[in-house]
Amino acid sequence: MKEQWFGDSYDLVKRVLLEAVSDSGFEVFADPMITEADFDNIEQYFRLIKAKPLPADFTTNDGTCLFLDPNTGISKDTKKRSKHHITVTKLKERLSAGLIVVYDQSFNFQINPFITIQEKLSELNNHSISGFYYASHANFLFASKKVEVLEKVKLKLLDIGIPSSRLINLGNH
């Protein structure tokens, strides 16, 4: 996350989605994955997106959601180490139970985004993680080791009015 983008329309989408997650019964924690030495608005960031700061000893459990906010998103390259990305391998390490939501803007716009989404969901599936995307101008991955967790959140997203065509599973469009 870069402070220059703090408070933009993407942050409002984050808030709406995380409120739906919270309304689904999850306690939401966020790792802003800040890439700058100074970020003066960190408390305001948590208030805006309606999430709690991540405790040092945090691990996901059945009642929690971890929101990851990298600058760029999820890298398909498992060897790529960057403070701007998270890899599927790192995502798997952080998900013991519960739910992870990732803001993902790492798309090559010369390639159909649906293809990239399917590749990322397939890679998650290879690691025994299920997921779906909220696909829009701001893309978000919802991932869990339990399909029923994802179904619960998906139902809430549909309930607040998000069109089902925006929720992309592995194999569907």
* Predicted pLDDT of residue 65: 95
pLDDT of residue 4: 59
Q: Using CA atoms, how far apart are residues 39 and 77, in angstroms rounded to an integer?
A: 28
Q: What is the pLDDT of residue 39?
A: 67
Angstrom distance (rounded) from CA 45 to CA 12: 11
Structural domain tally of the chain?
A: 1
Instruction: Give the integer Cα–Cα distance in Å for 91 and 110.
Output: 26
CA distance 9 to 13: 7
> Helix, strand, coil shares of the chain as percentages rounded to 5?
35, 20, 40
CATH number at residue 86: 3.40.50
Report mean pLDDT in 10-residue bins for the chain, 173 residues: 67 94 95 68 86 88 90 67 73 87 84 88 92 92 95 97 94 65
Residue type, 137: H
- Give the pLDDT score at 112: 85
Range of the domain at 43: 3-169
Question: Tell me, what's the pLDDT at 2?
Answer: 59
Strand partners, 31: 68
